Amino acid sequence: MNSRERVLTTLSFKEPDRVPYDLLACDSLRRSLGGALGIADIDLCDHFGYDIRWVSMAQPLCPVGADPTEWTPAPTSEDVEDCRERIRKTHEQGKAASTGYHMGIFEQAKCWLGDDATLVIPYDNPSAFRGMLERITEWKKVVNGAYIEAGVDIILTGDDLGAQRSLVMSPEYYREWYRPHHVELISHLHSLSSEVKVAFHCCGHVVPLIRDLIEIGVDVLQSVQAETMDLAYLKREYGRDIAFWGGVGAQSVLARSNPEQVIEGVRRTLETMAPSGGYIAAPCHVLTEEVDWKSIPAFSEAMRRYGEYAPSPLRRGLG
């Protein structure tokens, strides 16, 4: 079974030969790791055998002096062809292809208006805000649709709706202002391809909205921040309705542990999340400078030791 088959199998809620995994690190951390290993410009996916490669189309910068809320560039045919070629090579390597993260409806509004104004404008000028959200939604349909045209396996969109202890907005506020646009976007992407999987990135505590995400057609919840949610509860309550991608605590397991503690933390996460498929192991966020570079090979070592399904340490004590 190659990496792409492994990813698609687990996203169908079946157990592949082993748990698929990947990891993203900031450039400075990646350079520290490469320097320690004597490998300039290290490619983590190739070096550690990750199952997913990320492909992106470059978005042009908004011209100086232009109104950013009117700057919604679509990928060109040349962009799509270039992306298609990179996806073809990714598939030839046997790996699954995911888009890089493209911010969703709420995040784009915040990018244009700022955090405070985005939360206030629905009360000050609701009609203008609705028009803006509709414009954002149409733009995101075009951009993500171009990736589907290019042949990607996973679309990674999303919105950071959670903080460390709670949602950043009430469920009712989300359902009034953002859920309809998420429905429109995700329904459109699935209408373009029945094969593509839509992953929804959301940091923080998002438990009150997981049922909403399932209902609107999200295939995968990405991030799954272990410091803010009970992984066992997520798996038990939602693990047959939505797949999970992440779950290895970046703030806890990877940032404040020595390599053996990292390995043990990953093992515990796998024991909870891996059974019956529906899980891609990964840190719950891009790793930053607070993480020791030694945690990256330790993460891969944990996957080597404990990532296989049967016969496997995952099965010990699970009945």
Domains and CATH numbers, the chain: 3-57+69-315 (3.20.20.210)
pLDDT for 311 equals 63
Spatial separation of the C-alpha atoms in residues 252 and 266, rounded to whole Å:
11
For residue 209, give every residue at least 6 positions away whose Cβ sits within 8 Å of its Cβ, in sequence order, or none. Answer: 161, 167, 171, 174, 202
Quick check: 75 and 101 in contact, CB under 8 A? no
Q: Which two tokens stand for residue 129?
A: 């805000």
Q: What is the pLDDT of residues 100-134, one digit of tens each?
A: 998 999 999 999 999 999 999 999 999 999 999 99
pLDDT for 314 equals 52
Reply yes or no on whether the pLDDT at 316 is more than 50: no
pLDDT for 318 equals 40
Confidence of residue 66 (pLDDT cuts 50, 70, 90): confident
Q: What is the pLDDT of residues 245-266, one digit of tens each?
A: 999 999 889 998 899 999 999 9
Reply yes or no on whether the pLDDT at 16 is more than 50: yes
Segment 14-19 mean pLDDT: 97
